């Protein structure tokens, strides 16, 4: 690839990332093939997602632009875990068993030229969330796979530790798994709750979180029935056991906090929800919070009171 070709590859990619940033800033978490087609980037029309295979190299580019991993439903448990190596890096399987297949060569190009790609991660219930920029940092031809680096992906919710990762690869492996689950989980949970806080129905997506009922780090699964859409304040209150949710979806406030006298934020934002039913629940019953998980978490709330 000539330097000019490489610059063009980078320019198209950066234009694609800018478009995705804009969509996400407007609250869009889940993308379909339809809404990532016919984009004008650098004066040309591009599609950002493959139509059938997992690897996507647009005709106008020399290297692959995107990879895709479909959502694997319940039963297969935690969708991306199997493929995260002990070194903390994800392994993306080549297409078929020929490393020289043109799609595998397109991935090889992206690796050799240090070009960033988009990784489409399947979302429970349909569509894909976008992880970018990701890099392919090595090729393991005998195992027919590429090594994927997601460190460059901005993820304000999970920060990398300051400790030397080389010293504790198991920690790095765990963090990679958490980071891979995070975005599709958020997309699935926000959609199920129609982008509104379950407690107060607040609807500003930048201030909404997909909260785990059973914590991710403690083995909780990244599925909608283990999630709740909560605004930042109610998420923090839930995590600090100031706010509890019963298995029958009733909000409880810690007795001490209920007695406190402060300003309108405490009164209207916290205390007045005591005894209220959740304001927002998924329309599909199969997506509502698992009462067993709520029960366990509610017990922890009671024990902390």
Residue numbers of the site for Zn ion (CB under 5 A)?
197, 199-200, 202, 231, 234
Query: Which of residues 119 and 202 has its CB atom nearest to Zn ion in the complex?
Result: 202
Distance CA 84, CA 177 (A): 7
CB of 230 to Zn ion, least distance (A): 6
Q: Minimum Å distance from CB 133 to Zn ion?
A: 32
Phi, psi at residue 164, to the nearest 5°? -70, 115
Peptide bond into 133 cis (omega under 30): yes
Smallest gap from Cβ 249 to Zn ion, in A, equals 14
- Minimum CB separation from Zn ion for residue 195, in Å? 12
Which is closer to Zn ion, CB of 27 or CB of 42?
Answer: 27
Closest CA to 119 of 74, 152, 85: 152
Nearer to Zn ion by Cβ, of 178 and 279: the residue is: 279
List the structure tokens of 239: 């995590």
Q: Which of 123, 230 has the CB closer to Zn ion?
A: 230
Q: Of 13 and 234, which has the nearer Cβ to Zn ion?
A: 234
Nearer to Zn ion, 141 or 268 (CB): 268
Element (H, E) at 25: helix 3-25
Helices first, then strands: H and E counts in the chain: 7, 12
Q: Quote the strand ranges of the chain, DSSP E.
A: 39-41, 44-46, 55-56, 66-69, 90-93, 117-122, 128-140, 145-149, 208-212, 227-231, 243-245, 251-253
Closest CB 235 distance from Zn ion, rounded Å: 8
Provide the minimum distance between the beta carbon of 273 and Zn ion in the complex, in angstroms, as a whole number: 8
Distance CA 43, CA 39 (A): 9
CA distance 89 to 211: 25
Q: Which of 19, 22, 30 is nearest to 183 (CA)?
A: 30
Q: Which two tokens stand for residue 208?
A: 């909404």
């Amino acid at each position: 690839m000539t330097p000019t070709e490489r610059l063009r590859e980078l320019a198209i990619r950066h234009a694609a990332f800018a478009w995705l940033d804009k969509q996400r800033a407007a609250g869009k978490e889940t993308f379909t093939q339809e809404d990532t087609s016919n984009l004008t980037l650098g004066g040309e029309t591009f599609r950002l997602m493959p139509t059938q295979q997992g690897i996507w190299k647009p005709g106008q580019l020399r290297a692959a632009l995107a990879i895709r991993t479909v959502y694997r439903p319940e039963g297969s448990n935690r969708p991306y875990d199997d493929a995260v190596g002990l070194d903390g890096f994800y392994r993306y399987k080549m297409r078929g068993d020929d490393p020289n297949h043109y799609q595998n060569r397109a991935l090889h190009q992206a690796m050799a030229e240090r070009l960033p790609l988009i990784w489409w991660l399947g979302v429970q219930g349909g569509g894909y969330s976008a992880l970018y920029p990701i890099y392919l940092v090595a090729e393991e031809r005998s195992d027919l796979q590429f090594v994927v680096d997601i460190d460059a992906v901005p993820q304000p919710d999970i920060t990398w530790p300051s400790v030397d990762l080389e010293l504790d690869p198991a920690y790095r492996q765990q963090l990679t798994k958490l980071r891979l689950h995070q975005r599709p989980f958020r997309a699935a949970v926000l959609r199920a709750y129609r982008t509104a806080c379950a407690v107060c129905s607040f609807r500003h997506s930048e201030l909404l979180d997909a909260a785990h009922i059973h914590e991710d780090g403690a083995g909780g699964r990244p599925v909608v029935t283990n999630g709740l859409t909560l605004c930042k304040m109610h998420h923090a209150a839930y995590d600090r056991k100031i706010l509890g949710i019963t298995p029958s979806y009733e909000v409880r406030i810690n007795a001490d906090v209920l007695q406190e006298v402060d300003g309108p934020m405490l009164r209207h934002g916290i205390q007045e929800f005591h005894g209220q039913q959740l304001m927002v629940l998924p329309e599909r019953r199969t997506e509502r919070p698992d009462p067993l998980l709520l029960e366990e978490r509610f017990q922890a709330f009671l024990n902390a009171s």
